[in-house]
Chains A and B, each alone.
Chain A
Amino acid sequence: MLTEVLTQLVVVVALALLISIPLFVGRERLLETKATWPTRIRVSGPAIVLLAIVLVINRVIRWRAAAISDEIGYHMTETFYRFEGEFVLVFQSIATDELTMYFSAIYIYGYTFMLVFPVIAYFVLSDTRIFRQLLTAYSLNYVIGLSLYLLVIAYGPRNVMPEVLEVTMLYDNSPEYQHLTREVNQNTNVFPSLHTSLAATVAMFAYTTRSSYPNWFPVAVVLAISVAISTMYLGIHWGVDVAAGLVLATTCVVLSDRLVGRWSLTELYESARHRLAERRRNGE
């Protein structure tokens, strides 16, 4: 079942990329990248390695995290529920089969596409800074998000009021997605919504790069808003989680801008080598 769902995801996202790359990126940039990609990879190395490490850590501690949470975490479900009550139910009032289909597709396919496309789109830009910033922002989202998951133990709306979310709940309408989402998440990881924060991060990047990719910007904004709504519509997140996701996204975008380019690893390496060589000369 997992293999089927996964294959389907890969196929759908690949198709979406096949359409969107020529549409938003264009042939010229791709051709140009053909010659320069080794340099770009080298320059972006630290950001790529950072993201890879973060993803591996994420994978390794995914299930151990429950035990850590037990020790240090705070149970917050009741607090969230008291704070916002049945706010997420507003989406139930507009629910239709078509909307449920749309938001389910957005939550699974739209979101994955949203994360992958900018990686390609920014890699082919001649200035690698945006690319490095994006990867750094992704890493920050994961690191801060995961730390919050350790601290805040909360269940989403579907776990608190299952009966009223019956119409739109993702896992009742498309139970096969269960196999996919439980590979990457636990049911107490709701605060903040990483779906929202990563989608918003991508939209903010789309805004700053709108001169390079004018058509991508409105698409990214529509997708990001849809992703944020889908998490509540499908009964997965509270409004509080989505709001926290937006704050997290902003923080990560600002931080990535400050951090990237601050230290050039190449320079650090060169100066260290220089100093070492000098010392050796002096010593001898």
Chain B
Amino acid sequence: MSEREAASSETAAERATSRRAVLAGAAGLTVATSGCVRQVRTVVNRDDVEQLSLTITTVPADGDRESIQIAREVAAVLEAVGVDVSIEMRSNEEFLRAVLINHDFDLYVGQHPGGTDPDFLYEALHSLYADESGWQNPFGFTNLRIDELLEEQRRTGGDDREAAVDDLLEEVAREQPFVPICVPEEHRMVRTDRFDGWKRGHLATRLGYLGLETRGDTERLRAVHLDARPSQNINPLTAEYRDHDPVIDLLYDSLATERDGELEPWLAESVEWDDGTLQVRLREDCSFHDGERLTAADVDFTYRLLQDTELGSGESPSPPPQYRGLAAAVEEVNVQGDHELELAVETGEAVAERALTVPVLPEHVWSERAIQADVPGVRVAQGATEAITTDNVPPIGSGPFRFGSRTEREHLTLERYEDHFTLRDDVDLPAPTVEELRIQIDPRSTSAIQLVSTDDADVTSSTLETYVLDDIEAEDDVAVLESASWTFYHVGFNARRAPFGNPRFRRAVAGLIDKAWLVEDVFHGYADPTATPVTDEWTPDDLAWNGEDPVTPFLGSDGDLDVGAAREAFEDAGFRYGDGTLRVRR
């Protein structure tokens, strides 16, 4: 072999070897020349830089038709900027378990329960909750400035609070702990020939099903629900089974209830605010569905359980995955009699009153659930109490309806609770007007609509998917209702994993998403694109949608990404490209 041939075959071999091998070779050379071990390590470690590959977790179309479409679009734009993406589909409860309980995700696409008051962001983003489960900071997001603002808007009221919320939202938009995409319109279909008064209350809450005027001698209200979960688990504390449905609200009372964004007394007869305390007077002679009396001790117990499901018996508190942020506002409960109690709070009035919306749980049922769960053959995580793992069937609440029967994945039937305070003559609140509320499970919007039109159901208790809305034919005795909406679709990042903890990376991803186009293409126009996750009245002017996202505008137009500009955005954010793919250090 001539010298020349040897040289050329060497180059070919070199070309064939991977980047890893080349670098290792270079390292060997360094050792030979300088013998400096530290330098070797520096060089070799650079080899950890590889293509970013990530997984987007979401639900299949049977669970939520819009989420999977958004997820596929997000996957496509990420692939266009050189990321290796795969999509993982999970059923509704498995999806929530992965995201909320196990924090096992990179990115996810889904619907956030949101809230009518911006204080929901306290539990969604405060770094105190980065380690907890539920909608308490599933992102693992930590930012001291945002923590401060979250606390400030809790403490203050009036204009001060508004200013604090404005600052908070600006900061959240800058940081993009998640990318809010849009607020979907909520449409439900109802029969008007059997019931009247559908517009009195929101159909995701108890008030939507109370005070309905029956026409003729209708004794049964027939709802159809798209999601089977309410027939499988009726525990108010299990995050993966709870959604935008009225079931818990109907079975359990809360001290106050929300009507059109305002709170009014419910189980409480009166609530008085006195700088730092809420003086609550309960209605008298209320009892739970099993006949046990409901007293101030049950309310006290409820707040204690919502702060620690082990009631102080564990090494450290085991907070439940639901209602955590609300209950945290309550510092102390002082029971002052069977029907009187005082809640000491460290927040302003607005946030304190929201704490009154948690379901009141019977102490005699739940006190024995405050122990470590025991599932045969399964290792249970520290702090997983029976309170969280039980499916709570039959549920014992004090609400206007009591549990009747159920068949998993088929129906959940509730019966009117004859002793409920709303049925008393001297109480002027909407009461249950039917003997029975049957919630039938039917997983598709199209067949739910069919059930209402053929008079097999009176109301769709789930919101209808947007793709069917254009096809609904106008009929006598059937109406489509639109309700106020505060849930929103979003892309969530898991800040616990690199590089999603990097705000520059998250902002660059936000710029890839054409929210306005998704609204048209995926939601058929039945949604509003959004730059901030709160309701309109809380949205600061400079975060209002003005045809494009005011903070992270889409890098392209009409759904077509300007790939060059998008890659530049990642480079500006400090990321590198090699072989056309986005490289990160893992």
A contact residues vs B (CB 8 Å cutoff): 1, 63, 66, 70, 75, 77-78, 155, 158-163, 166, 171-172, 175-176, 178-179, 182, 187-188
* B:442-460 near A, CB below 8 Å: 442-444, 446-447, 449-451, 456
Shortest distance from the beta carbon of B375 to any chain A beta carbon, whole Å? 12
- The one of A63, A75, A160, A178 that contacts B442, using a Cβ cutoff of 8 Å: A178
Taking a contact as CB atoms under 8 Å apart, the answer to whether A175 and B446 are in contact is yes
Chain B contacts of A155 at CB under 8 A?
60-62, 89
CA gap between A160 and B58 in the complex, in Å: 11
Shortest distance from the beta carbon of A85 to any chain B beta carbon, whole Å? 13
Closest to B465 in A: A162
Chain B contacts of A78 at CB under 8 A?
86-88
Taking a contact as CB atoms under 8 Å apart, the answer to whether B88 and A171 are in contact is no
Taking a contact as CB atoms under 8 Å apart, the answer to whether B89 and A171 are in contact is no
Closest to B409 in A: A63
Chain A contacts of B204 at CB under 8 A?
none
Taking a contact as CB atoms under 8 Å apart, the answer to whether B451 and A162 are in contact is no
B233 within 8 A of A: no
Taking a contact as CB atoms under 8 Å apart, the answer to whether B69 and A163 are in contact is yes
B408 within 8 A of A: yes
If A63-B409, A160-B68, A163-B69 touch, whether A179 touches B60 (CB-CB below 8 Å) is no
Taking a contact as CB atoms under 8 Å apart, the answer to whether A159 and B89 are in contact is yes
7 further interface pairs, Cβ-Cβ under 8 Å (given A1-B456, A70-B94, A178-B443): A1-B447, A159-B62, A159-B68, A160-B68, A160-B72, A163-B69, A163-B522
Chain A contacts of B68 at CB under 8 A?
159-160, 162
Closest to B59 in A: A159
B65 within 8 A of A: yes
Chain B contacts of A159 at CB under 8 A?
60-62, 68, 89
B467 within 8 A of A: yes
- The one of B62, B446, B451, B522 that contacts A172, using a Cβ cutoff of 8 Å: B446
Q: Is the interface of B mostly helix, strand, loop or mixed?
A: mixed
Closest to B446 in A: A175
Taking a contact as CB atoms under 8 Å apart, the answer to whether B450 and A176 are in contact is yes
Closest to A77 in B: B89
Taking a contact as CB atoms under 8 Å apart, the answer to whether B447 and A176 are in contact is yes
Closest to A75 in B: B88
Shortest distance from the beta carbon of B465 to any chain A beta carbon, whole Å? 9
CA gap between A155 and B61 in the complex, in Å: 9
Chain A contacts of B61 at CB under 8 A?
155, 158-160, 162
Per-residue CB proximity of B450-485 to A under 8 Å, as 1/0?
110000100000000001000000000000000000
Q: 14 interchain pairs (CB within 8 A)?
A: A63-B408, A75-B89, A78-B88, A159-B62, A162-B68, A171-B444, A171-B446, A175-B446, A175-B449, A175-B450, A176-B450, A178-B442, A178-B443, A178-B447
In the A-B complex, the 4 residue pairs with the closest CB atoms: A175-B447, A159-B60, A162-B61, A175-B446
Closest to A161 in B: B72
Shortest distance from the beta carbon of B221 to any chain A beta carbon, whole Å? 18
Taking a contact as CB atoms under 8 Å apart, the answer to whether B89 and A160 are in contact is yes
Chain A contacts of B91 at CB under 8 A?
66, 188
Chain B contacts of A70 at CB under 8 A?
94
Shortest distance from the beta carbon of B84 to any chain A beta carbon, whole Å? 11
Per-residue CB proximity of B55-96 to A under 8 Å, as 1/0?
000001110010011001000000000000011110100100
Chain A contacts of B408 at CB under 8 A?
63
Chain A contacts of B88 at CB under 8 A?
75, 78
Chain A contacts of B60 at CB under 8 A?
77, 155, 159-160, 187
If A78-B88, A187-B60 touch, whether A166 touches B467 (CB-CB below 8 Å) is yes
Closest to B447 in A: A175
CA gap between A42 and B467 in the complex, in Å: 55
Per-residue CB proximity of B25-68 to A under 8 Å, as 1/0?
00000000000000000000000000000000000111001001
CA gap between A171 and B61 in the complex, in Å: 12
Closest to B63 in A: A159
Chain B contacts of A66 at CB under 8 A?
91
Chain B contacts of A158 at CB under 8 A?
61-62
CA gap between A163 and B522 in the complex, in Å: 8
CA gap between A178 and B62 in the complex, in Å: 11
Taking a contact as CB atoms under 8 Å apart, the answer to whether A187 and B62 are in contact is yes
Shortest distance from the beta carbon of A61 to any chain B beta carbon, whole Å? 14
CA gap between A172 and B408 in the complex, in Å: 24
CA gap between A82 and B87 in the complex, in Å: 10
Chain A contacts of B451 at CB under 8 A?
1
Chain B contacts of A77 at CB under 8 A?
60, 87, 89
Chain B contacts of A163 at CB under 8 A?
69, 467, 522
Of B72, B409, B446, B451, chain A has the most CB atoms within 10 Å of the CB of: B446
Chain A contacts of B450 at CB under 8 A?
175-176
